[in-house]
Amino acid sequence: MANSLFAAALLLSPVLGAPAPAPQAPEVTAPASFGPDSQISASVQPSTSGYRVEVLVNGYTSATYHGPYTGTPTTVGAVPGPTTIAASIPAQPLNPTATYYNTEGVPLNPMPAPFTPAGGLGTNGSLPRYMVNSDFDFESIALGLYQEWIELDLFHDGLVRFTDEEFTAAGLGPEARSLIEFMADQETGHSTLLTNMLGERAPKQCVYNYPYTTVREWVDFMQRLTRFGESGVWGFINHLDSREVGQLLAQSIATEARQQQIFRQMSGLTPMNVWFENGWPQSWSWTMLAPYISYCPENTTRLAWQNFPTLHILNNANINRYSPNDTAQDGSETVGRRIADPSVSNITGSCENLNVTGYGCGPAIAHNKSEPLSFPGKKVLFEWEGPGSAVGPNNSYVTSTSAGAPKFVGWSQQLNLTYSPLTVTGNNSGYTYQPEGFVYDNEGIINGTMAVMLTDLDLYVTPFNTSLLNPHIVALGLYQAG
C-alpha cells in the first residue's frame, strides 16, 4: 500500500490552467490573441513549507522575512547516533570481489533474459521501493532537501527584491526573469520528491539570510549555491543503499546542473569550463549551506554532518572586474565573510556593461576571458577561522575540526584532489601558489567554482572515497577559479 501511495504522489500533480497555444498561421505574424484560458479544473494544494510566503504586487512570491537569527539555540551540535564506533574510517585494500575484467569484448556469463547482460543492481525484477533505506540515505537526502528548500526561496527572492529597472540594467529582461521563475518552480517538484522519499520526518522549509544587495550579486550567489548543491549530490549518490532513491535523485540533480550553468551565463562566466564535474562529501556542502539558514520551524529534523571552519580566500577573483588580477588582496571584494558570499558588484573597473570581446561580462551564452580569473602560479592568500563558531539554523550547529596544524592546500575539481604546500605567515593566515595539473591531455584541473581546503596531510583520495579526507580538514572554502 505504501508503495502505491508513493507512486501516486510521485506521478500525479494538479493540472494548472494555462493559455491554449495559438493556431498555426501560413505566414509569420504576431498573433492578436492566444485563445481562451483552459477550462481544465484545478485546485490549489496546501503548502508543506514551515513558514508562510506572500504574493507581492509584481506577482512573485517570497517569504515574509529574510535576515539573521536573533534568539538563543535550544539544541546545539550535529545530531548524534546511539553511539560512535571509531574516530574515523580507515582506508582499506581493494574490494576482493572487484575482479571482473573483460578481455573478449562479449558477454562472459549467461544472460538472465534476452538482450539483458548479467549483472547490475536492482535488475532482478523486484518491485522498486522509492524510500531511503539506511541512516546514510536518510541523512544524505535530508541534506538534499535542505538544499532544495533554500533554492526554492532564493530563486524567488531576487525576483521580488529587485525592480524591473534593476534587472534591465543588469542585462536580464522579462524572459530571463521568467526562466528564473521556472527554475524556482522546479524546486517545488524537487522538494516534493525528496520529502516523499524521506517520509514524515522530512525537514521543512526554513528562513534564510542572504548576502546580496544587487541583481549581479544575487545571480553570482546562485551560481555558487547551485555548485555546492550539485557537487554535494554527485559525491554521495552512488553510495546510497537505495538504488531507487539514487535513480530519482539523479533525475533531479541533472536539472540542477543545468541551473548552475544558466546562472554562470547570467553572471557573465563561461557556462562550462571543465571536462568533469566534481563530487563532494556531504559535510562540505553542509558547511557551505548552513551559514545562510537563519531559523527553522520547531522540531525540524536536524542533520548529522560536520560543519568545518571557514577558509577565507582574500584575493578570490572578483567576477565583475574586466581585469580580475586587480581584485583587492584583503578580502574586501567579497560582500561578506560567509563561505559562499558573492563578489562585490558596485566597483570601479566593472566589466558588466563593457562590450569588448575578452573583457565584457554581461549576461551571455558564452564569454572568453582575455585575462583569466585565476591561473597556475597565482599567489592565493588565506585567512581561516578556528573551530567553535555557531552556524546554521537557529545558530545551533558548531564548526569543528579533528585535524592538526595546516600544512597543505587541497584543490578539489574534476576527477582530482590536488595539493600544494601552505606557507603559514601568521595567526590563522598564509598563502600558497595555485598548482598546475592536468586531467587528460591539456585539460587543466583547476577551473570553475570549486572547493579548496587546508589539511594537515596530503592524503591520496579519489572521487569515490573523498570523505576519507574529512578528519584531516582544518578549514574549507569556495574558490572562483574560472
Q: What are phi and psi of 401, to 5 degrees?
A: -150, 145
- What is the predicted pLDDT for the residue at 58? 59
Do the Cβ atoms of 333 and 343 come closer than 8 Å?
yes
- What is the predicted pLDDT for the residue at 59? 64
pLDDT of residue 62 exceeding 70, the answer is yes
pLDDT of residue 11 exceeding 80, the answer is no
pLDDT of residue 10 exceeding 70, the answer is no
Tell me the CB-side half-sphere exposure of residue 280, using CA atoms within 13 A: 29
- What is the predicted pLDDT for the residue at 69? 84
Give the three cell numbers for residue 56.
Answer: 507581492
- What is the predicted pLDDT for the residue at 53? 54
Closest C-alpha among 109, 135, 111, 105 to residue 123 = 111
pLDDT, tens digit, 9 for 90 and up, residues 381-423: 999 999 999 999 999 999 999 999 999 999 999 999 999 999 9
Q: What is the largest CA-CA distance in the chain?
A: 74
Mean pLDDT of the chain: 88
- What is the predicted pLDDT for the residue at 16? 30
Strand order in the sheet with 473-480: 416-421, 408-413, 449-455, 473-480
pLDDT of residue 340 exceeding 60, the answer is yes
Q: 76: pLDDT confidence band, cut at 50, 70 and 90?
A: confident
Do the Cβ atoms of 145 and 194 come closer than 8 Å?
yes
pLDDT, tens digit, 9 for 90 and up, residues 438-451: 999 999 999 999 99
Q: 55: pLDDT confidence band, cut at 50, 70 and 90?
A: low
Long-range contacts of 351-359 (CB under 8 A, 24+ apart): 351/268, 351/320, 351/321, 351/322, 352/170, 352/171, 352/216, 352/268, 352/320, 353/171, 354/322, 356/322, 359/322, 359/323
pLDDT, tens digit, 9 for 90 and up, residues 261-295: 999 999 999 999 999 999 999 999 999 999 999 99
CA distance 311 to 375: 20
C-alpha radius of gyration, the chain, whole number: 24
Cell 581585469 found at: 323
pLDDT of residue 26 exceeding 80, the answer is no
Residues recorded for the chain? 482
Do the Cβ atoms of 187 and 323 come closer than 8 Å?
no
Q: What are phi and psi of 229, to 5 degrees?
A: -65, -45
Comparing 55-59, 148-152, 166-170, 237-241, the range with the smallest average pLDDT is: 55-59
Do the Cβ atoms of 481 and 310 come closer than 8 Å?
no
